[in-house]
Amino acid sequence: MLKYGEKVGIGLSGGKDSASLLYVLNEITKGHGTELYAITIDEGIRGYREEAVKNAERLARELTIPILVSSYKDFFGFTLDEALDFRNIHQKSKVTSCAICGPLRRRSLDRSAEKLGLHVLATAHNLDDVLQTFYINLHSGDLERIKWLDPAYHPSSNSSFKLRRIKPFMEIYEQELAFFAYLKGLPFQSESCPYMNEGIRTEIRENLNSLESRHPGIKYSSLKTVLGIASGLEIQEKKKKSLMRCEKCGSVSTGTICSVCETLEIVANANR
Ligand code: SF4
């Protein structure tokens, strides 16, 4: 996943998965000319994010890895709490919190990576995350997003900034990462995001956990099937989402308006 001398950013949320990823990458890249940077994005979630950011800063300091902390407020002018307050007051059909938060986080990480001049962005998505994402896309009929789960698939980008994304923990169970983080005494936040139960992901997580408890190993064999499907999937050229420039912000997008500008529009409309 990594080549000699690359500059690698790690999305460090302050939770157990990303804390473990920072620790492991720091251990295995020693002596390989790799420069590591931690990137922490503060979404602005009262009573939740403050502790996670402190843990992230503490871990980066202990491992002597430089850390860049940025926030939605810096990038977009509002916190996630403010965006959701606007939505709650003004929107009749509610867009879920994660649907608003996800695109903003991806854009924040991209901008931070660009600022640091990184070659690679490593995120701590684990086996459970990958399976949940598969089922979310299966239920919404989004074949191309299933294709994106194939680690060897790199959709062509017309951006001048080329960033490779890797998920080193995609074959590791979430529970094992929690165990690892406890064993190593890493500082991490154990509390969950207060908005996490709005989307379908929580229901899928519970179903998969219940299957795993009755049939140990089923998640791992499902992952092999998912990766097999993703790698064998051929998206017809005419059905591929072609990449273009967003008409509003100029970022690479699969539509005329990118998901971040659509999200900003939702928040702005709710705020009117
Ligand atoms: Fe954002 Fe959803 Fe994650 Fe909370 S659970 S931080 S709202 S993506």
Q: Give the pLDDT band of residue 203 (cuts 50, 70, 90).
A: very high
Distance from the alpha carbon of residue 212 to the mean position of ligand 1, in angstroms: 24
**What is the number of the ligand 1 atom nearest to the C-alpha of 198?**
2
- Of residues 137 and 242, the one with the higher pLDDT is 137
User: For 60-77, how does the pLDDT look when each residue is reduced to its tens digit (9 = 90+)?
Assistant: 999 999 999 999 999 999
Out of 196, 198, 267, mutate this one to test ligand 1's pocket (max ligand atoms within 8 Å of CB): namely 196
Which of 7, 3, 8, 41 has the alpha carbon at shortest distance from 22?
8
- Of residues 15 and 94, the one with the higher pLDDT is 15
* Dist CA 157 CA 151 (whole Å): 16
Query: CA dist 62 to 22, 128, 158, Å?
Result: 11, 28, 38
pTM, entire model: 0.89
Distance from the alpha carbon of residue 14 to the mean position of ligand 1, in angstroms: 13
Distance from the alpha carbon of residue 195 to the mean position of ligand 1, in angstroms: 6
Q: For 41, how many CA atoms within 13 A lie in the half-sphere containing its CB?
A: 24
Distance from the alpha carbon of residue 27 to the mean position of ligand 1, in angstroms: 29
Out of 42, 96, 97, 202, mutate this one to test ligand 1's pocket (max ligand atoms within 8 Å of CB): namely 97
Ligand 1: list residues with CB < 6 Å.
43, 97-98, 101-102, 193, 195-196
Place of tokens 């950013």: 9
Q: In the predicted model, what is the mean pLDDT of residues 35-64?
A: 96
User: For 164-198, how does the pLDDT look when each residue is reduced to its tens digit (9 = 90+)?
Assistant: 999 999 999 999 999 999 999 999 998 889 998 88
Out of 42, 101, 129, 259, mutate this one to test ligand 1's pocket (max ligand atoms within 8 Å of CB): namely 101
- Of residues 272 and 230, the one with the higher pLDDT is 230
* DSSP bridge partners of 120: 8, 164
* Domain 7-241 class, CATH top level: alpha beta
Which of 30, 35, 39, 33 has the alpha carbon at shortest distance from 60?
39
